[in-house]
Chain A
Amino acid sequence: NAGVTQTPKFRVLKTGQSMTLLCAQDMNHEYMYWYRQDPGMGLRLIHYSVGEGTTAKGEVPDGYNVSRLKKQNFLLGLESAAPSQTSVYFCASSYQGTGGEAFFGQGTRLTVV
Chain B
Amino acid sequence: GENVEQHPSTLSVQEGDSAVIKCTYSDSASNYFPWYKQELGKGPQLIIDIRSNVGEKKDQRIAVTLNKTAKHFSLHITETQPEDSAVYFCAATDYSSASKIIFGSGTRLSIRP
Could you tell me which A residues sit within 8 Å of B by CB distance? 4, 31, 33, 35, 40-45, 48, 50, 56, 58-59, 90, 92, 94, 97-99, 101-102, 104-107
The size bracket of the interface on B is: 20 to 34
**B93 to chain A: which residues have CB within 8 Å?**
98
Chain B contact residues: helix, strand, loop or mixed:
loop
Interface pair B102/A106, CB less than 8 Å apart: no
Of all chain B residues, the one with the shortest Cβ separation from A96 is: B95
Minimal beta-carbon separation of A40 from chain B (angstroms): 6
Minimal beta-carbon separation of B48 from chain A (angstroms): 11
Interface pair B99/A104, CB less than 8 Å apart: no
Interface pair A102/B46, CB less than 8 Å apart: yes
Provide a sorted-by-A list of 12 A–B residue pairs whose CB atoms are within 8 angstroms.
Answer: A40-B9, A40-B105, A45-B100, A45-B101, A59-B1, A90-B43, A98-B32, A98-B93, A98-B95, A98-B96, A98-B101, A102-B46
**B51 to chain A: which residues have CB within 8 Å?**
99
Chain A contact residues: helix, strand, loop or mixed:
strand
Interface 1/0 per residue, B77-101 and A, CB below 8 Å: 0000000000001000111111111
Interface pair A42/B99, CB less than 8 Å apart: no
Of all chain B residues, the one with the shortest Cβ separation from A38 is: B105
- CA of A112 to CA of B1, assembled, Å: 30
B103 at the A/B interface (Cβ < 8 Å)? yes
- CA of A50 to CA of B6, assembled, Å: 27
- Known contacts A42-B89, A107-B43: does B101 contact A102 (CB below 8 Å)? yes
Interface pair A41/B105, CB less than 8 Å apart: yes
Interface pair A105/B96, CB less than 8 Å apart: no
Interface pair B46/A101, CB less than 8 Å apart: yes
- CA of A45 to CA of B6, assembled, Å: 16
